[in-house]
Chains A and B, each alone.
Chain A
């Protein structure tokens, strides 16, 4: 196969179908970027979950009127739960000391705290933090228990939000992916039609299947490649605008947000996917519209 000849044919044809080529490039870009965003969100949920689940404790707050029998009952109930790793009693004094450390940057808050204003509590470490609900239901209604608190409750809301976003990005990218497939399909059909004289003559003089179909597949792959490069740009933009200048600056937490390493890890996958899928669809379309 003459590379130079094939390439010049490909270039001519891409120019001829410029509008369709641009449409293919853009849809590939958007669908690949959408996929990348969904992926980033998944990574984010994973890292956030493992970070928090590794650090989370369940705190069982006791009422101010709690007596020693009640304390013991609660403690025994907790200790007997198989998924509980350890139970630590936090007295009012200890709670006060902890608050001094925790809120040392907020003196106004500390002014209102006295050793007696904070409730005593049990700090429970779990073997599997995801099963914190078992703990709450076990002790919630015992006399002397005020409330069972865990950061997980709030986290679950955040997770549900990020999960929703991830699903939305996934659905969006799937829809755009379908649009991309149909567009590539149509573009190949159009370009097969506009080149029917050439392909007719190629068939007649005995050009091989590879020679006849090659240019179309290369065209598809090239559009896919350029499209996925655009997708990388879009994904980087998303990371900068929504992560670095978005949630990371609005809600700085101890949790790490997805970094450039993760983004870079997605890049080659997106490019491969863009090129491979586009070439594949082109090839499949040709089987129907370009009898050799």
Chain B
């Protein structure tokens, strides 16, 4: 589903590459933790999957497409197959929960009929039934992240990228979010989650890819956050 082959990413502002000849393959339906310290290259990895940046060297395949061969106007089509969740939720503050989720469908041209049918379903899935008309600032952090996950998943993407989705949440709330991501993964969606949270990684026992200064230093199926912790 996602394949990096000898991928190096150099930013103009830094002498050290953010990613250094990284080769990784993530299969369809996998749940993968991307761990490592700040600046280890986790976010760069996710940005490259989204084709928000292009690699300095190497090749990336996402959903069967080699990204460097993807023309500019086809990038939106690629991104429709990828849902993305962030640490800071990135909801629209002036739209209700329902409108926030509907927005993601409206801007890719889905019919009003589809929007009206699909949005309640996904809000039910993330456990927000009954809160459709709330504004984001009336929700707890965990609920806001559920809205963000609903928005990322409403179009039933093949891949869900999560960049520190529990970074702003307390441990109990985080567990709820992880259960939700696990459920989404069980529908066949490939989930890639970048995180700092060792408890979550240790308790989930899923594949762990550790990055350190742009190198893959560990790739374990059913791994834990780190050996010496």
Contacts and interface: CB of A to CB of B under 8 A. Distances in A.
B107 A205 contact: yes
Nearest to B84: A204
A206 B79 contact: yes
B106 A206 contact: no
A201 interface: yes
A211 B112 CA distance: 16
Given A2-B112, A209-B73, A211-B108, A204 B103 contact: no
Interface string B77-93: 11111111000001010
B77 A206 contact: yes
Contacts of B73: 208-209
Contact of B151 (A4, A5, A205): A205
B90 A197 contact: yes
Interface string B33-77: 000000000000000001000000000000000000000010111
A208 B76 contact: yes
B92 A201 contact: yes
A202 interface: yes
B108 A201 contact: no
Contacts, number: 56
B130 interface: no
Contacts of A211: 107-109
B155 interface: yes
B26 interface: no
Nearest to A204: B84
Contacts of A5: 106-107
A200 B104 CA distance: 11
Interface residues on B, range: 20 to 34
A203 B79 contact: yes
Interface in A124-170: none
Contacts of B75: 206
A197 B77 contact: no
Interface residues on A, range: 10 to 19
B104 to A, nearest CB: 4
A271 B138 CA distance: 46
A240 to B, nearest CB: 45
B92 A202 contact: no
Interface string B95-129: 00000000110111101100000000000000000
Nearest to A203: B79
A253 B103 CA distance: 65
A200 B90 contact: yes
A11 interface: no
B83 to A, nearest CB: 8
Interface string B7-22: 0000000000000000
A205 B108 contact: yes
A201 B90 contact: yes
Contacts of A204: 50, 79, 84
A207 interface: yes
Nearest to A8: B106
A198 interface: yes
B108 to A, nearest CB: 6
Nearest to B76: A206
Q: Which of B82, B107, B108 has the most CB of A within 10 A?
A: B107
Given A2-B106, A211-B109, A206 B80 contact: yes
A202 B90 CA distance: 11
A208 to B, nearest CB: 5
Q: Which 3 A-B pairs have the closest CB atoms?
A: A206-B79, A206-B80, A207-B107
26 contacts: A1-B109, A2-B112, A4-B112, A5-B106, A5-B107, A198-B92, A198-B103, A200-B90, A201-B90, A201-B104, A201-B151, A204-B50, A204-B79, A204-B84, A205-B104, A205-B151, A205-B152, A206-B75, A206-B108, A207-B107, A207-B108, A208-B76, A208-B108, A208-B109, A211-B108, A212-B107
Interface of A: 1-2, 4-5, 197-198, 200-209, 211-212
Given A200-B90, A204-B79, 15 more contacts: A1-B109, A4-B112, A198-B103, A201-B90, A201-B103, A201-B151, A202-B107, A205-B83, A205-B108, A205-B155, A207-B76, A208-B73, A208-B109, A209-B73, A212-B107
